[in-house]
Structure 1
Amino acid sequence: MIHSSPPATNALIAAALAAALALPLLAPGYYVQFASKAMLMGMLALSLNLVVGYGGLVSLCHAAFFGLAGYMLGFLSPESGGASGWLSLPVAVLAVGAVAAIIGALSLRTRGIYFIMVTLAFGEMLFYFFHDTKIGGGSDGLYIYFKPEFTVAGSILFDLEKANAFYYVVLLCLVGAVLLIRALVRSPFGHALAAARDNERRALSLGFPVFRIRLAAFVISAMIAGLAGYFSAAQFGFVAPQMLGWHLSASVLVMVVLGGMSSVLGPIVGAIALIGLEEVLKSSFEHWKLIKGLVVIGLVFALPGGLQQLAAMLLPGSSDESNAKADTTKVVAVPVGKALNHV
């Protein structure tokens, strides 16, 4: 069952995309780099929402996937030049997917608070693996002196050393991730994932392979997080154990909740809002973290459904929440065979 977006929503999305395309042409380099960082965090929040919002699984190890991809780029980058993007990018993402498959296969045998604790434990294991050993520079981290190179017939396809080129590549990746998640959650696979979230026993009685569906969602989510981590490490030329820590996972979870869990675009809005809030407060207040916490608490109380609730108030029917509810109530009509074909 595919839902069409209201015209007002389509117009708003088109305007946001047009503004994003025009930003490098109008804004100074600092803001272009900041926007690239915000989009990467939005991609990380988007990936987490696949398992949190649509799967009902609160993971606290997604920062580990984010940082692991950055380390893979560092390992594959020679000191004399940039790594081949055609090689290092798929290797990094596939390595993250392999690790996520192992972690997911073990973690998904638990439920509720136990799943949260197990994913937290795996994330901390990866954090201390890089922090307490000399692999990847230990606690000092690893420098990446040159950005990866994407060349065709000896010519550079796009020069990531240039802020504008890097920005457009990140924007392309973000749009691709949005389209992928959007297609997944609207497919029989997404319906089955939502059914398992709402009533696992009923989904099992209908014949849905809940474990396989959740594992597939967990791995896909981790690989998107790895994609964001790869370009984040490339942007800053540095990767450290802190990129894998639970603090980042918790921050991304706040972005998801702040933006709205029942919307594909909500977590991206939440990430941009939180990153933008931090940037404003840092330049104006000494104890900016305290103020940020108070603002986030206030927003959560005022908008329990996240910032997407504000969009729904301004543009009725713009939220995906009603569509999500319709999907889960009608999931019994989704043939089991179709769900299996999407796993």
Structure 2
Amino acid sequence: MFPEHLRWQSPRCLLGAGLIGLLLVLPLLTHWLELGFYLSLATRIVIYAIAATGLNLILGYGGMVSFGHALFVGLGAYVVGICSYHGLDDGWLQLLIGLTVTGAVATAVGLVSLRTRAIGFIMITLAFAQMFYFLGVSLKQYGGDDGLPLYQTSILDPLPPLDDKVALYYLALAVLLLCMYLVWRIVHSRFGYVLRGFQANERRMLAAGYSRMRYQLSAFVLSALICALAGMLMVNLTTFASPSYLSWQASGEFLLIVVIGGMGTVVGPLLGAFALLSLEEALSSMTQHWMAILGPLILLAALYASRGLWGGLVKSAATAGNQEGAGR
């Protein structure tokens, strides 16, 4: 669409660079304005964007509608919480254990759920998430329904302590940018083209000799690992591991974030997380009936922004650029 030497000047790149620049200076703005609470909100938005980025890999590019990805966020959170409960505060070791456990569970869930299609896949992923939700509720030693407090945040030497909110924010932002870059590289690789091919025309891809289970299971497991990273960061932010992280409501939020931001776009999950969580925070501070207002707003976004917020912004920026060019 753009010449090679002007590609960095495209609306998509300029908008993305502006958004990343804003995220980088956000802690300075909150400190200058003495609005420390908004740094915690921004960290939560970034963490939700990480989880939505993982889900977007299989939903936006693979056509797999998972209604149970909160399972992997909850697994990451509980691994950190349980390790800390037993005195294991080494964050790197927690990361290794969390990714190993999540990878094993995701492989088992994927092997079962990917044997089905459409509504069957949705219901099986939901069923697994609910099974682990009730497992979390039943673990009385680890708080049961009340959840598990985190008495010591993860220690990631030589990184700064994560009880420093600024350090946690920049770590979460670094993980988000790394995950976004990873997804971008994957979807523009041979693996990504095959994955998108199964979304577009499964019969043709099978006839070409590609294994549906191999490609979709690999994407499913990688998606789950990204969500586990979000869970590990979330428990360090809230200092609490709750069964609610595993609930179907949390899975629904991640789906909603991807749809609002723009399915099949790298930046969409970040915009979706910002829009949804900011609206929730603003409306809940104004009225106790905020959900009745949020629902119609989400409906309007789904009806009039079919390509999501990111698609709408890119289109608007491109239109404005074309008009400016025509006026010169």
TM-score, with structure 1 as normaliser: 0.87
Q: Deviations over 1:247-266 (max 9, x none)?
A: 11011101111111121111
2:54 aligned with 1:51: no
* Partner of residue 83, structure 2: 76
* Partner of residue 332, structure 1: none
1:160-239 mapped onto 2 (5 Å cutoff): 160-239=162-241
Residue 6 of structure 1, CA deviation = 5.2
2:152 aligned with 1:142: no
Opposite residue 59 of structure 2, the aligned amino acid is V
Q: Distance in 2 between matches of 1:166 and 1:42?
A: 15
Q: Does the 8 Å contact 2:12/2:314 carry over to 1?
A: no
Q: Which of 91, 99, 104 pairs up with 1:98?
A: 104
* Partner of residue 113, structure 1: 119
- Stretch moving more, 281-290 or 19-28: 19-28
* Partner of residue 244, structure 2: 242
Can you give the 5+ residue segments of structure 2 that lack an aligned partner in the other structure? 321-328
* Partner of residue 28, structure 2: 25
SS of 1:158 mapped into structure 2? coil
Q: Distance in 2 between matches of 1:78 and 1:270?
A: 34
Q: Distance in 2 between matches of 1:43 and 1:139?
A: 26
Classify 1:115/1:137 alpha carbon distance in 2 versus 1 (closer, same or farther; 3 Å). Answer: same
* Partner of residue 338, structure 1: none
Identity %: 38
Opposite residue 111 of structure 1, the aligned amino acid is R
Q: Does the 8 Å contact 2:57/2:264 carry over to 1?
A: no
RMSD in angstroms over aligned alpha carbons? 1.7
Residue 79 of structure 1, CA deviation = 6.7
Q: Distance in 2 between matches of 1:87 and 1:111?
A: 36
Classify 1:170/1:298 alpha carbon distance in 2 versus 1 (closer, same or farther; 3 Å). Answer: same
2:134 aligned with 1:131: no
Q: Distance in 1 between matches of 2:48 and 2:188?
A: 24
- Stretch moving more, 83-92 or 210-219: 83-92
Q: Higher helix proportion, which one?
A: 2
Q: Distance in 1 between matches of 2:307 and 2:19?
A: 21
Opposite residue 200 of structure 2, the aligned amino acid is D
Moved over 4 A (4+): 3-6
Opposite residue 57 of structure 1, the aligned amino acid is M
Opposite residue 234 of structure 1, the aligned amino acid is N
* Partner of residue 15, structure 2: 12
SS of 2:157 mapped into structure 1? strand
Q: Distance in 1 between matches of 2:9 and 2:55?
A: 26
Q: Distance in 2 between matches of 1:317 and 1:122?
A: 45
Q: Does the 8 Å contact 1:45/1:252 carry over to 2?
A: yes
TM-score, with structure 2 as normaliser: 0.91
* Partner of residue 325, structure 2: none
* Partner of residue 265, structure 1: 267
Q: Does the 8 Å contact 2:58/2:223 carry over to 1?
A: yes
Q: Deviations over 1:202-259 (max 9, x none)?
A: 1011111111000000000000000000010111011111110111101110111111
